[in-house]
Chains A and B, each alone.
Chain A
Amino acid sequence: MGLKIERLPAPVWVRPLIPIAAIIVTFLLTATLIVLVKANPLEAYYYFLVDPLSSRVSAIEVLVKATPLLLTGAAVTFAFAGGYWNIGAEGQLYAGATAATAIGLQMHNQSPWVALPLMIVGGFGAGMLWALVPALMKVKLAIDEVVTTLLLNSVALFIVSALLNGPWRDPISQWPQSPEIAASAIFPKLIPRSRLHLGFILAVIIIVALWFVLTRTAFGLRMRAGGLGPEAARFAGINVGRTMLISALVSGGIAGLAGVSEVAGIHYHLIDAISPGYGYTGIIIATLGTLNAWGVALAALFIGLIDTGAQTVSRALGVPAYLGDVIQAVLLLVTLGMLLLQSYRIRWKGN
């Protein structure tokens, strides 16, 4: 007696419904936690899902929150689709943020037309650089990239902390933070009197590019072939190692852009809490979005909504904002389990 898992592909129309069903199951599961802390789940979900969209200001804030998530989600998707398990988007984000700050601090007499492209290219490059060693170790030495990318996340944080307590320490502030970047290096606002900035446009461009490369180019096809089955891809004449290297590096670069966007669009200086785990959230988004560019976009917006809502729930009901993190983790696990329904059928079998 037990669960019996049989291979049976689901009809195509079921597939987009799976993440939606996963969201519903997640909310049912986390409702128990909300009841446990003596709050009303329906009220909590109102603050999570509806309240942020009920005013223009907070609806724009959802887009602000979604901006780094679109980028890290795209970064993780690009690597995962190529069969490269980049768990290092967090560290690559910090590398990008560091490069953006380094460049932004030097741009005091420059025009934004010089400063902004330099920061974007620099941040992309820094993210690539931070992804380079694990990628080379994977391709050349067959060393598990999961471990090395994870370890480098910790190292990136130490480096940022060293910079903020040392050479970049802002003498005016009592917190460890860098001085403010030059005015010309600050991303322009898209909507006056809001926090929505150029980084959002950048993220949208990256999502479109992700869709195009994954589905409309020969490289995307080679990459996905390598991700699905390296042996078969190699047999088909694809240089799997080189393809994987490129997908790992570009993934790092995109994650680096998330760092650029947070420095230049939100904080204007480097702080060690520049990311509350956006790199890891990127993995949730890539999974929820089923490694599909439009899915990733929707997932990032949804997680942005949850992130915004977590603050509201915390203020309104006194439930710790960490509830948002729990919901995201449960959502990841439930989605992962339910995606099985894409190609398998699960039956409860007696004897």
Chain B
Amino acid sequence: MELTLFLTFLVGLTGATLRVATPLIFATIGEVYTERAGVLNLGIEGIMFLGAFVGFAVAFKANEAGFTSGYLWVGLLGAMGVGVLMSLLMGFFSVTLGVNQHVSGLGITLLSIGLSLFSFRMVFGESSVLPKIKPFGQYSIFGDLPGLGPIFNQYLLTYVAFIVLVPLAWWILYRTSLGLQLRAVGENPEAADAAGVNVFRTRYLALVIGGALMAVGGAFLSLAQLGAFSPGIIAGRGWVCIALVIFAKWDPIRAMWGALLFGGVAALQLRLQTTGVDLPYEVFLALPYLVTIVALAIAGRNAAYPGAYLKPYRRE
């Protein structure tokens, strides 16, 4: 009896881990692309926030306008669009002007959050009831099979993250000439330039891919997990992704494991809360962040940052 209970617990935990890890994988892989090209995009938190808001707002309006089936995908597309726009702006500051990436990234985050909250008020007013939409559904690839069924009862985007996004990122970075160029401009832009790689265009491209993925990560929360948007929706997840990238040593596969570790701890804390362990639930909420810091202290020690990390490139 105890064993079945434990197994049920484990099945629930595993399923939840995959769900919690999904937005982190999207955003972390996005950040891996940009950092591999030598740009730290601290706009990640804001781009996720903006993606969550725009995804929701566009889906809500599309639904209102009569799109009864595809509205969520329209929302997702809208999120990707603003993700691209914001990363172009980030590119203007960090690549074209070559100013400080820490501060410009934070500026992008503050701008994205400010614009989202401002627009939310303009679009939805000051109603005390949060507007809602019917979110993405979950699909079980193993049907009602005990054990595997509930674990793999997931959102389509979760499958995309694990089955498509991570392997694809690995393949692009290590097996294509685009990936080679991307890593080259992040490692040694002078040499890449001499070899005929357009440093500026490659960095912009990395930022754009990254920004679109970050926005999808944010939109996953509003369009799949919640079906709503609230100001606390991202709550530092973007910063966690920045840590995961270092933890992963800029490798997509390791990034996935890092996201699963954070997701696992976060899913565990949700379950410990409900089992009545006598600790304030905020301690559990803080746990994944603390685990991330500890993981960083262990794995991030003397991490091999990309050679041109944080360094703008100027052609003399």
- Chain A interface (Cβ < 8 Å from any Cβ of B): 3, 5, 33, 37, 85, 87, 133, 137, 141-144, 146-148, 150-155, 158-159, 161-162, 165-166, 280, 283-284, 287, 320, 322-323, 325-326, 328-330, 332-333, 336-337, 339-340, 346
Say if the beta carbon of B102 comes within 8 Å of chain A: yes
**30 pairs of residues in contact across A and B, judged by CB atoms under 8 Å:** A3-B97, A5-B314, A33-B118, A141-B301, A143-B246, A143-B296, A144-B246, A146-B242, A147-B239, A148-B293, A148-B296, A151-B236, A152-B293, A153-B239, A154-B235, A154-B236, A154-B239, A158-B283, A158-B286, A159-B282, A280-B106, A284-B107, A320-B122, A322-B114, A322-B118, A329-B113, A332-B103, A332-B107, A333-B108, A337-B93
| CB-based contact B280/A147 at 8 Å | no
- A283 CB to closest chain B CB (Å) equals 6
| CB-based contact A151/B103 at 8 Å | no
Q: How long is the Cα–Cα vector from A153 to B110 in the complex, in angstroms?
A: 15
What is the total of A-B residue contacts with beta carbons within 8 Å? 133
- B301 CB to closest chain A CB (Å) equals 5
| CB-based contact B122/A37 at 8 Å | yes
Q: How long is the Cα–Cα vector from A83 to B107 in the complex, in angstroms?
A: 19
Residues of B within 8 A of A142 (CB): 301-302
| CB-based contact A151/B110 at 8 Å | no
| CB-based contact B106/A147 at 8 Å | no
Known: A142-B302, A146-B242. A336 touches B110 (CB 8 A): no
Among A3, A33, A150, A155, the residue within 8 A (CB) of B286 is A155
A3, A143, A339, most chain B CB atoms within 10 A: A143
Among B100, B235, B297, the residue within 8 A (CB) of A336 is B100
Chain B contact patch, size range: 35 or more
- B20 CB to closest chain A CB (Å) equals 15
Q: How long is the Cα–Cα vector from A155 to B287 in the complex, in angstroms?
A: 8
B110, B236, B296, most chain A CB atoms within 10 A: B110
Q: How long is the Cα–Cα vector from A231 to B113 in the complex, in angstroms?
A: 37
Residues of B within 8 A of A155 (CB): 286, 289-290
Q: How long is the Cα–Cα vector from A166 to B111 in the complex, in angstroms?
A: 34
- Chain B interface (Cβ < 8 Å from any Cβ of A): 40, 42, 89, 93, 96-100, 102-104, 106-108, 110-111, 113-115, 117-118, 121-122, 235-236, 239-240, 242-243, 246, 280-283, 285-286, 289-290, 292-293, 296-297, 300-303, 314
| CB-based contact A325/B113 at 8 Å | yes
Going nearest first, the 10 A-B pairs with the smallest beta carbon separation are: A162-B282, A325-B114, A320-B121, A329-B111, A329-B110, A154-B236, A162-B280, A326-B114, A322-B118, A158-B286
| CB-based contact B286/A154 at 8 Å | yes
| CB-based contact A141/B297 at 8 Å | yes
| CB-based contact A336/B93 at 8 Å | yes
Among A150, A154, A336, A346, the residue within 8 A (CB) of B107 is A336
Residues of B within 8 A of A287 (CB): 103
Q: How long is the Cα–Cα vector from A152 to B102 in the complex, in angstroms?
A: 17
Q: Residue on B with the closest CB to A286?
A: B103
Known: A146-B102, A325-B113. A151 touches B301 (CB 8 A): no
Residues of A within 8 A of B283 (CB): 158, 162
Among B40, B100, B117, B289, the residue within 8 A (CB) of A151 is B289
